[in-house]
Structures are given as C-alpha cells and as structure tokens.
Amino acid sequence: MFEQQNILDLKAPYLVYFGDVQGRGYAKTGLGLIKWRPNLCAGQLRLPDCTIDGGIRDMPIAEAVATGVKSLVIGVAPSGGEIPSTWGDDLVHAAQAGLDVVSGMHVKLKDIPNLENAAKESGAKLIDVRCPPAILPIGTGAPRSGMRLLAVGTDCAVGKKYTALSIEREMRRRGWEVDFRATGQTGIMIAGRGIPIDSVVADFLSGAAEAISPSAAADHWDIIEGQGALAHPSYAGVSLGLLHGSQPDALVLCHEANRDIMLGTENKEPFKIQSLLETMELNLKHARRVNPQSRFVGFSVNTSAIPEGERKAVLAHYARETGLPTVDPIIDGASAIVDQIAKEFGPCRAA
Amino acid sequence: MFEQQNILDLKAPYLVYFGDVQGRGYAKTGLGLIKWRPNLCAGQLRLPDCTIDGGIRDMPIAEAVATGVKSLVIGVAPSGGEIPSTWGDDLVHAAQAGLDVVSGMHVKLKDIPNLENAAKESGAKLIDVRCPPAILPIGTGAPRSGMRLLAVGTDCAVGKKYTALSIEREMRRRGWEVDFRATGQTGIMIAGRGIPIDSVVADFLSGAAEAISPSAAADHWDIIEGQGALAHPSYAGVSLGLLHGSQPDALVLCHEANRDIMLGTENKEPFKIQSLLETMELNLKHARRVNPQSRFVGFSVNTSAIPEGERKAVLAHYARETGLPTVDPIIDGASAIVDQIAKEFGPCRAA
C-alpha cells in the first residue's frame, strides 16, 4: 500500500544556499524559491565570490539554526557539474548543525565527501529531489475528490511551472483552498513536496501522478505542474502518464511565442511544434478518458521573444485562435484564467 | 553515448528449467520459449515432482555443459513467489558449472543464497531480464533505416507478443529478413535480447524503444512486441513512449473478443475498452508524429472466448468494422497480415 509519506517532503523554514555562483542562470532554483515562497526563506548563505543576491538576509549557519531554520536548500547548479570544495565545507557544516540538506543537482549528496557521516551523526536528512520514492502505486484511474488543474504545453520549457504557480497565487489571493503540486525538481523545492515524475519507473507513471494530487475537499484546487508535451518525441510518455494520473478538470495550455521547433530536436531531426488546436485536441482526448468533464480554461504565453509593442496584438491573435482567456502570466498575472475557472466550475468557497 | 551492447543479451543454447512446477500457467515462459525457439532449447531440467513436460529432452546440468549449452533459463514462476530450496540447489549447480542463469522472476537472482558466489567463481553471469540497462539514451525521433511493425492493443494481455511472433515466423518462412524485438520479460527470453520497457526510467521511454529496434537494412523488418494500451489508465505512458520510439511503418491491432473492461480496472473503477476505430485513430495520430507513412496492416483477435461455431462470423464482422485482414493467429497464423504488408510496402527481397 502506498503511503502519502513516501512523497518527498521538505522541512521549512529554509536557508537558501548560493555558494559562489556568478550568473543568474545558475541560480534559478534559489531565486524561484525566494520569489514564490518568500515566507519560507529565512535567509541566504553566500560565499565571498558570489555575485547573486536573492534580496533576503545573509545568514550564517549558526544563526540559521538559532532562528529555527530546518533545511539548507541548494539554490544553485554548479557550472560544469562538479561541486567546489568550498561548497562542500558549507554543506557539511550545515549537516553537522542538524539542518537537512536539500539538492536538485545531478550529483548525489551522499557522494559529497564527509556529508553522509555528518548527517548521520546529527540526525539530519540528505534529500535529493531528483530521486522518486522507492515505493509507488500502479495507477487505477479511480476518481478522487477535489478539483484539479494541469498545465500542459506545446513543448518542454514553455512556462508550465510559472503558469501553475501564478494560478495558485491568484487563487490564494482570492481566498480559495489551493495547492501547487510539483512534478519537477525546482517545483518540488518550491512546494516543499512532490515527485520528480520523469524519474519514476515507467510502469508507475500514472500511479505517481495520482499520488501527487490525492483526494481533497470538494472545492479544493490542486494546480499541477506539467511536464513535456504529448507530441514531443523524447518525453511524450511522461506527459501522458502525468495527464492520465492527474485527471484534470481544467487544462491550461502553455506556449512560447515564436518557438517553432521542439526543444532538443533542433540538431538531429527537427520536430515542428504542433498547432495550438491540435495540441488542445490531443490533450483533451486523453484527459477525457479519465475525466469526461475535462476542458481548457486558459492559454498562457511566454512573450519574451516578442517586441513590447507587438505583445498585445499577438495575445489577441492567440485568444481568437484558441477561444481562451490568453495571458502572459509574467506580465499580466493569471487573473483572467482564474476568472474563467470560476465561470466554468461555479463559485468556490471563498470566491 | 548509448552502446547496443547495453541491451540485455542471452547466450544460447538454453537448458530450460521447470523446477517442480505443477501447472501450465506457471510454466508459460519455458513453454513459450520452446514453442517459439525450439532450435535454441537443447533440453529441459525438471525436479522429480514436476508435472510439466516441454516435450524436449531431459538433460542434467553436466550433460548440458558437455553438449555446449550456455545458459540455464528459468522457465517457470514459483507459485507464491518464494524460491524453493530445491530449485536454489539446481541454480547454484548450474552457475558453478559455468552456465549463465537467466530469470524473469520478481525475486532477484543475487538474493538466492550462494548463487552470486557460485557465479563469480565460475565467471557465469546472472541475468534478471526484468532489469533494464543502467545506461539508456533520450529519444531523438530521428528516423532509422529499415522497416518496423508494432503490435498495439485495445488492452493489456490481448496477444501482442503472440501476434508479433506469428508475424515474424511467417516472414521468416517466406525468406524475409526479420527480427522479433522484445519489450517484456518472456519476449526477451524468446528473442535472446531486448529491454523490459515498463521498467525503464520514464524519461528514457522512447529512447529505450529507439534502442530496441536500431537501424537496419532498408528491407529488413523489425516486429516489435507492444505493451499496454494508449487508453489504459495505468500504462498508457509506457505505450506512448514505445509507440514514438518504435516509429512503426506498420501497425497491427490486437484485441481479445468479448473482453469489455480493461484488465486490472475491474474492481476499482472499470474502464471500458475503447472502440476499435477509436483505438486505431489514436494510435495512428501518435505514430504519424514520428513516421508519417504509418498505417494499420492487420487485426489480430484472440477468439478463445468465442464458441467454435461463431468464430468465423465474429472475425468477418471485425474485418468489416476495421477494413483490415483479420485473423486469430493461434488458429489462422499471420499469413493474411503478411500478405497485406507485402501489398502495402511493396515486394521484399525474398518475397
């Protein structure tokens, strides 16, 4: 029997670790964590060379422990993949002081010299968020109570996580009962729990997705982070297992304006992004297999590649094409999408 | 870089092990191996209590070694899952004598007492065919040379493996260049190689499927064992990754007559089997994403639940519904399907 406690679970508040990182691209995880969960981030820890500032208080390990911090979260990817020894020292000190150490890096925490022993002695946990639970259920397709929204995409890396978090934030602002449900490493750090769905054994794909958004109160919304795309030749299996297991009532389509070729296929065999209507139709067909009332409630477009002056016209064009409330959540927020959800699914407890 | 030698590879000829098995249902793997690869099965080894006879020569381990046997293949599942100690003794003796030991059981070979040491001393290999290679590629969708057929189904366990093997046998009979490509444990034993596709990490699903049927001569056919069903709420992700990675030119639909509810969903939330045309349309849509010329060439129906007198009428009805050459391969063979393949894809080297 699968127990919910098998799902990765992080203890807040966090000390966000930036090491000696030099570029914002390498610090996306930590910056995202601070953006979406400022209340959980008590402070940041940086080496003298670090050029990134998350805009929160610098805090040495001893002070973090004294103020009740529970976990050091590595908010940065080492350039080149190797962990510099200066980082290793900080991580060992944190574990010695009893802080859980949380990582989304490819290198496993237990492979960092002395870290495993330090954690054993203090009782701290080492949590690699790329590792799924050892025990997962087979999917059943049985309906669960509560409402669910899944962000799906025309491609990988088109803003599904950002979209889901924007919708969660807007629903919470309105006083709705809502949880962001994470399926990737950065999302798991932000949510404090979740399963890295692309790392589970294939047989358990939809079962893992079912475990990610368990039964809830009838008007509670789970906003689920999507992965990949049903038409992506590398990752479609992950996307379909996640779609089936999520049993979404509502779908939000995510897309990057001006992207024509699917990510990762540019060099070997370029795959064109499918049309918006084809993408919607294919997602709906599979979603309705597990939830007949499934429907699209919004379109989220990353317009960063569009000149500022053309943005509105592009969004209006997309809105006509899809018939959906269309926003760039970075600029517009997700209010129009949540309005549509309220319209489609009726008044929520606090709406 | 993924190397083809990472794929599980078994050494023939085989000694088929039946232990003390009492029922044919528990001996399906060994009986299937003897049925489909009689030339590779030098003999069988049975304990005195065994009531199953594979119809080949009984052969003690010493004789097997003397006649050039390379692997002992466990052709039976222990009832209850536990390995009786009498079996363990036989397996240890085989490994001591230098035979590779091949298993599709859930219990790992290294967990059988003394077996790992025996294998180490003799240099024999212990091969669990449920374990995928440690290193797999990400799928690219790049086309490969050669022709491919994938057996897809309306459900799990509708005869996809049997169908694929029947087609392989018929093509070989006609002198075509052909290989059966295995994606499940029994299939891997029969093929002598393959990847258990439901056990790979989800991110590598289509990459594993691409590795299973590598580039080949232009008129060579790979006949690929399908898994699951695109509409099955537990396993659809596996089916889609396998479909994308297989890039099939030809699809054969497999179905069990009179089955209405999807296997494994009967008790919790029954899922109706989708209509034949819906199943075909959904498979074609995904297949054409990676191979625009993909099409159905036949319909394989397991008619074991149909009274003998009604069989012909049922098959005729199915043929009208699908427009496809329709056979029960157990009774009719796969000749009608291979005829259709020859018609659709032109003359093969030896056709």
Q: Is the pLDDT of residue B242 over 80?
A: yes
Q: CA–CA separation, B305 vs B195, rounded Å?
A: 31
Report, as an integer, the average pLDDT of B39-67.
97
pLDDT at A351: 42
Q: Is the pLDDT of residue A342 over 70?
A: yes
Question: Could you say which DSSP state residue A314 is in?
Answer: H
The ranges assigned to domains in chain B are 4-128, 147-345
Q: Which of A156, A200, A234 to mutate to test the interface with B (most CBs of B within 10 A)?
A: A234
- As a whole number of Å, the end-to-end CA separation of chain A is 37
Report, as an integer, the average pLDDT of B203-232.
97
Report, as an integer, the average pLDDT of B237-256.
98
Q: Is the pLDDT of residue B1 over 50?
A: no
Q: CA–CA separation, B218 vs B216, rounded Å?
A: 6
One of 2.60.40.10, 3.40.50.920, 3.40.50.1000, 3.40.50.300 is the CATH number of A147-345, namely 3.40.50.300
CB contact under 8 A, A203 and B238: yes
pLDDT at B9: 85
Separation in Å, CA of B272 to nearest CA in chain A: 10
- A vs B: CB pairs below 8 A: 129
Q: Is A308 on the interface with B (CB under 8 A)?
A: no
Question: Could you say which DSSP state residue A203 is in?
Answer: G
CB contact under 8 A, A202 and B197: yes
**What number of residues does chain B have?**
351
The pLDDT > 90 percentage for chain A reads 90
Question: For A230-240, how does the pLDDT look when each residue is reduced to its tens digit (9 = 90+)?
Answer: 999 999 999 99
Which residue matches tokens 């798991």?
A188
Contacts of B282 in chain A (CB under 8 A): 285
Q: Is the pLDDT of residue B4 over 80?
A: no
Searching chain A, which residue's CA lies closest to the CA of residue B237?
A: A237
Residue B325, CA atoms < 13 Å, CB-side half-sphere: 19
Q: Is the pLDDT of residue B304 over 70?
A: yes
Q: Is the pLDDT of residue B81 over 80?
A: no
pLDDT at B351: 42
pLDDT at B22: 87
pLDDT at A272: 98
Contacts of A233 in chain B (CB under 8 A): 139-141, 206, 244, 289-290
The pLDDT > 70 percentage for chain A reads 96
Q: Kindly write down the DSSP assignment for every residue of B21-85, as one continuous string.
A: ---GGGGHHHHHHHHH-GGGEEEEEE-TT-----SS-B--HHHHHHTT--EEEE--PPTTSPPPH
CB contact under 8 A, A200 and B202: yes
Closest among B338, B129, B171, B141 to B246, alpha carbons compared: B141
The one-letter amino acid code at B112 reads: I
pLDDT category at A152 given cuts 50, 70, 90 is very high
CB contact under 8 A, B241 and A237: yes
Q: CA–CA separation, B253 vs B155, rounded Å?
A: 10
Which residue matches tokens 């088109």?
A158
Residue B83 dihedral angles phi and psi, to the nearest 5°: -90, 120
pTM of the model: 0.95
Tokens of B225: 């064992």
pLDDT at A1: 45
Cβ burial of A235 (10 Å; 0-12, 13-18, 19+) is buried
Contacts of A289 in chain B (CB under 8 A): 231, 233, 271
Q: What is the mean pLDDT of chain B?
A: 94
Q: Is the pLDDT of residue B171 over 80?
A: yes
Tokens of A248: 């979404």
pLDDT category at A85 given cuts 50, 70, 90 is confident
A258: left (phi over 0), alpha (psi -120 to 50) or beta: left
Report, as an integer, the average pLDDT of B214-240.
97
Question: For A112-140, how does the pLDDT look when each residue is reduced to its tens digit (9 = 90+)?
Answer: 999 999 999 999 999 999 999 989 999 99
Q: Is the pLDDT of residue A78 over 90?
A: no
CB contact under 8 A, B202 and A205: yes
Q: Is A207 on the interface with B (CB under 8 A)?
A: yes
Separation in Å, CA of B37 to nearest CA in chain A: 28
Question: For B30-49, how does the pLDDT look when each residue is reduced to its tens digit (9 = 90+)?
Answer: 999 999 999 999 999 999 99
Q: Which long-range contacts (CB under 8 A, 24 or more apart) does A302-307 make?
A: A302/A158, A302/A159, A302/A162, A302/A254, A302/A255, A302/A256, A302/A257, A302/A328, A302/A330, A303/A257, A303/A328, A303/A331, A304/A256, A304/A330, A305/A256, A305/A257, A305/A258, A305/A259, A306/A257, A306/A258
Asked whether this chain's domains B4-128 and B147-345 adopt the same fold, the reply is yes
Q: Which of A25-34, A55-64, A240-249, B286-295 has the lowest mean pLDDT?
A: A25-34
Assess if CATH 3.40.630.30 describes domain B4-128: no
